[in-house]
Amino acid sequence: MPQNPWLAIDAATPPMVRAKQLRHAWENFVGEGRLEATRAPIAESWQRSYAAGVDPSGDRVAPALADADETSERWQAHPLAAAAPLIRECLEPIAAEAAHLIVVSDAEGTLLWIEGPEGVRLDAAESMNFTEGAGWSEGGAGTNAIGIALAADHAVQVFAAEHFNEVVQQWTCSAAPVHDPDTGALLGVIDVTAKLDTVHPYSFGCAVATARAVEAHLRCLMRERDARLRARYADRIAVGGSRASLVTRSGRVISGDDAETWIGTKRLVVPPGGGELTLPSQARAFAEPVGHEEAFVVRASDRRQAVPRRPLLKLTLLRRDQPRVELDGRPLQLSRTRTEILALLSARPAGMTSEELAADLYGDDGRPSAVRVQVFRLRKLLGPWIDTAPYRLSMDVESDVEHVRGLLERGAVREAAERYEGPLLPHSEAPGVVRERDALEGWLRQAVMTADDAEALWAWVDSSSGRDDLAAWKRLLANLDYRDPRRSLAASRVFALRAVYSVAGPSPVG
């Protein structure tokens, strides 16, 4: 056994000798529950696999989690896809010469990308469902290099009968996790897999070196992205007279004079959609989203500043017959038209011309002169914080609509559905409001229906927008555990909505 517990075999040990030793140890564990002559990472993985109910006999292979089209879409959207040429450059020589497969999985163990000799790929797919779209976490396939790398967050080599599932024991694999240099989150795993007679310590080293190279590549891309953000929003940081810093979507502070001192940290938790916050330094600040929330300008809002502080406009616009508008905590009573103007301008931070605003308020026949009158009256209430060329809100704005959008931008679908109380200004017929309302509702529904999250579905059908959504209730019914008390309600709603829509279907079973 090698001194490194993460390495399966050293160069001096004959592979077949070690394979027989491991088979004996595996039989003892499976048959009698005894652990002997087994490396700690493997022993711990066997115990986790057993606890997860993985069948070691070989009758059960890795589950298929996604079809070819879905897997391709996931891979194209995955951060490691950008590093595919580098991964290929690092590992293609051994894949070609030593009949190894090059594999990338996501952070859940789903195989997203496989390259290597066609015969080896076919053999792996047919014998153990080692194919794109299959799930190779420990809970899905038992002990294997990808599964351990995810569970232990450590590079590992697995050989022969170290695999928990007997059908995989004719193979060897080495895998290393890859982390996001921005957040430190686990992105996925790079793996090399081959038949057991090709085992060698160098495959472990190659996997580790490739993972480190990919992380360095991602770090370079991150720094280039930071430089573009700093250049793009330098003017936004400079204006205003108060201290300001640029913060990435993930919360990293990347610009601003004396940023760490006045913010009090290198990483900040910014609320989705921006808004007021108290910094770790205890200073008050406001986070303004820029560029579809690709970053935030965080600006100090100290009332003692000589420079006039920008007021805070809070808009609560979802599902309300009477929307709530507050300026620095003071409620404002506005007409429907003026509330619609604020809703439209808050959705267009860059501003709108009088012609655009007129069309969004009144349709094709809208007159810019009517808009000018409404904005003039709004400015009497809000002060000089509505610019006029173009029309733009120059105050700080916090909105429940932007909060939901911010959560969707981050992929936090469940939280977005829970915060979504209902349609934007539901009684408004202004064309621009209808467009924004439909866009937000459509985005949220699509996210909920594709998230594979029962709690997100529950939040959606519990909203006024999703209450009569038959497809969503059916999806929820299929996703709820049979012991979940909400299942009977879902079944009754499916039955009732089928009757309403005259859709044929079997009687629901609670």
* Contact status, residue 178 vs residue 189, Cβ threshold 8 Å: yes
pLDDT, position 198: 78
For residue 306, being part of any structural domain is answered with no
Name residue 107's amino acid: A
CA end-to-end distance (rounded Å), the chain? 54
Read off the CATH number of the domain in which 125 is found: 3.30.450.40
Ranked by mean pLDDT, the top range of 145-149, 363-367, 404-408, 491-495 is 145-149
Q: Which of 444, 449, 489 is nearest to 464 (CA)?
A: 444
Residue 298: how many CB atoms within 10 A of its CB? 27
> Exposed, middle or buried by CB within 10 Å (0-12, 13-18, 19+), for 268?
buried
For residue 398, being part of any structural domain is answered with yes
For residue 403, being part of any structural domain is answered with yes
Read off the CATH number of the domain in which 379 is found: 1.10.10.10
* Contact status, residue 256 vs residue 248, Cβ threshold 8 Å: no
Domain count of the chain?
4
Domain end residue (candidates: 161, 188, 223)? 223
Contact residues for 391 (Cβ-Cβ < 8 A; gap 6+): 341, 345, 351, 352, 353, 354, 357, 371, 375
Residues 110 and 167 in one domain: yes
pTM: 0.70
In what helix (H) or strand (E) does residue 418 lie, and over which residues does it extend?
Answer: helix 413-419
What gap in Å lies between CA 306 and CA 180, rounded to an integer?
41
Residues 41 and 161 in one domain: yes
Q: Which of 110, 279, 73 is nearest to 189 (CA)?
A: 110
For residue 7, being part of any structural domain is answered with no
Q: What is the mean pLDDT of residues 196-207?
A: 84
For residue 60, being part of any structural domain is answered with yes
Residues 204 and 102 in one domain: yes
Residues 43 and 171 in one domain: yes
Tokens representing 30 are: 């499976």
Residues 71 and 42 in one domain: yes
Buried b / exposed e across 116-147, counting CB within 10 Å, b at 16+? Answer: beeebbebbeeebbbbbbbbbbbbbbbbbbbb
Residues 125 and 260 in one domain: no
For residue 324, being part of any structural domain is answered with yes
Q: What is the mean pLDDT of residues 304-313?
A: 64
Residues 356 and 491 in one domain: no
Q: Which residue has the higher pLDDT, 333 or 10?
A: 333
* Contact status, residue 131 vs residue 62, Cβ threshold 8 Å: no
Residues 139 and 261 in one domain: no
Residues 334 and 410 in one domain: yes
Tokens representing 398 are: 């916090």
Q: How many Å is the maximal CA-CA distance in the chain?
A: 89
Residue 34: how many CB atoms within 10 A of its CB? 11
pLDDT, position 508: 46
Name residue 396's amino acid: D
Percent residues over pLDDT 90 in the chain? 61
* Contact status, residue 249 vs residue 272, Cβ threshold 8 Å: no
Domain end residue (candidates: 300, 320, 339)? 300
Pairing assessment for the beta strands 312-316 and 396-399 based on DSSP bridges: parallel
What gap in Å lies between CA 154 and CA 361, rounded to an integer?
57
Domain end residue (candidates: 257, 273, 300)? 300
Angle at CA 17, nearest 5°, toward 43 and 155?
A: 40
Residues 110 and 176 in one domain: yes
What gap in Å lies between CA 76 and CA 426, rounded to an integer?
37
pLDDT at residue 510 tops 50: no
What φ, ψ does residue 58 adopt, rounded to 5°? 100, -5
Q: At what angle do helices 486-501 and 454-461 cross, to 10 degrees?
A: 50
pLDDT, position 305: 47
Residues 124 and 177 in one domain: yes
Q: What is the mean pLDDT of residues 354-379?
A: 92
pLDDT band at residue 256, thresholds of 50, 70 and 90?
A: low
Residues 34 and 123 in one domain: yes
What gap in Å lies between CA 100 and CA 105, rounded to an integer?
16
What gap in Å lies between CA 112 and CA 131, rounded to an integer?
8
For residue 52, being part of any structural domain is answered with yes
| Residue numbers of the domain that contains 507 | 468-510
pLDDT, position 13: 75
For residue 10, being part of any structural domain is answered with no
Tokens representing 472 are: 């969503």
Tokens representing 374 are: 């409404």
Tens of pLDDT, residue by residue over 30-88, are: 988 888 878 999 999 999 999 999 999 876 679 999 899 989 999 998 999 999 999 99
The region that residue 116 occupies, defined by phi over 0 for left and psi between -120 and 50 for alpha, beta otherwise, is: left
